[in-house]
Amino acid sequence: MKRHKKQFLGIEEEYTQLDVSANALIPFPYEGGVSYGKGTAKAPQAVIDASIYLELYDEILDMEPYLKGISTVAPPDIPADPQKMIQTLYDICMPLIKSGKFIGVIGGDHSISSAFARALFDHYGRLSVIQLDAHADLRHSYEGSPLSHASVMARIRDFTTDTLQIGIRSMSVEEARVCKDEDINLVTMDLFRKNNFNLTGLLEQLPDPVFITLDVDVFDWSVIRSTGTPEPGGMYWDEMMMVLQNIFLKRNVVGFDVVELSPKEDDINSSFAVAKLIYKIIGMKDTAI
Ligand SMILES: [Mn+2]
């Protein structure tokens, strides 16, 4: 596997060697599954560029998470065809999963997430998926495509029904019906804001291992506004940190992705926030029991 010519955080080469790094990052600039605003294909490079300006020390964890190694692999040639795209990402993820690394995929639009989740599921024999997102993504298909970004949780639930969705504030009546019929654990942003849910209880229901798929539109625009299908009224940074800390405290997280960032030239904040989010997640994994 080829290394990216520009590594996440811009850290020294000895901390980016794939064979000895505990963490691997896969940039996957695919945006064939979007319905509204484009631009997510530019996200991985924008995040890597922004990551250069991050502090390497984490003041909450009192450590430098990069010391266990973070290797950023080169983005592959991605076929335009959605089925072939899924196969491409699956094939990149699988050897890294087998080597026991903690893996993060930087999207790209949300349609990519079922490939990584499927690879984790096939390797471990089971998988729970926690989705942090403004949208439920439970449509069987959208605009004629079952591999649309608006259908990604439906594709994931084709092989695992151990799912938890948090931050949702945009869904169709059909999705609401699926939610009730299939008894899906879904925490709307309204419930979240009113603190009317039991995160610990919900996490205890999920079998290990766990995959986190994080659509940046789950955030409030004051944190991240550059995204293709924005929704007002999202999660603040410190709330996200609280949710993630709880997940890592309770569950064995084996991989994550961050999708749907659509960088804009007049907004460096969003890309920087995503870079910091990725580094925070790596630090939390590093210190999880
Ligand atoms: Mn979304």
Band (pLDDT 50/70/90 cuts) for residue 288 is: confident
Note the pLDDT of residue 38. Answer: 82
State in Å: Cα 116 to ligand 1 middle.
17
Count of alpha carbons within 13 Å of 109, Cβ hemisphere only? Answer: 25
Q: Give the residue extent of every domain in the chain.
A: 8-287
Contact 54, 245 (CB under 8 A): no
Q: What is the pLDDT of residues 239-264, one digit of tens each?
A: 999 999 999 999 999 999 999 999 99
Res 48: pLDDT: 98
Question: Encoding tokens for residue 144?
Answer: 């004629």
Query: Which pLDDT score is estimated for 289?
Result: 57
Higher pLDDT pick, 211 / 147: 211
Domain at 8-287, CATH homologous superfamily: Ureohydrolase domain (3.40.800.10)
Separation of 144 CA from ligand 1 center, angstroms?
18
- Both tokens assigned to 201: 């209880």
In the structure, ligand 1 is a single-atom ion and the residues with CB under 5 Å from it are 133-135, 215, 217
User: What does the pLDDT look like over 50-104, one tens digit per residue?
Assistant: 999 999 999 999 999 999 999 999 999 999 999 999 999 999 999 999 999 999 9
Residue type, 170: S
| Averaged confidence pLDDT in the chain | 96
pTM of the model: 0.97
The stretch 181-201 carries a mean pLDDT of 97
With residue 215 as reference, give the H or E element that holds it. strand 210-215
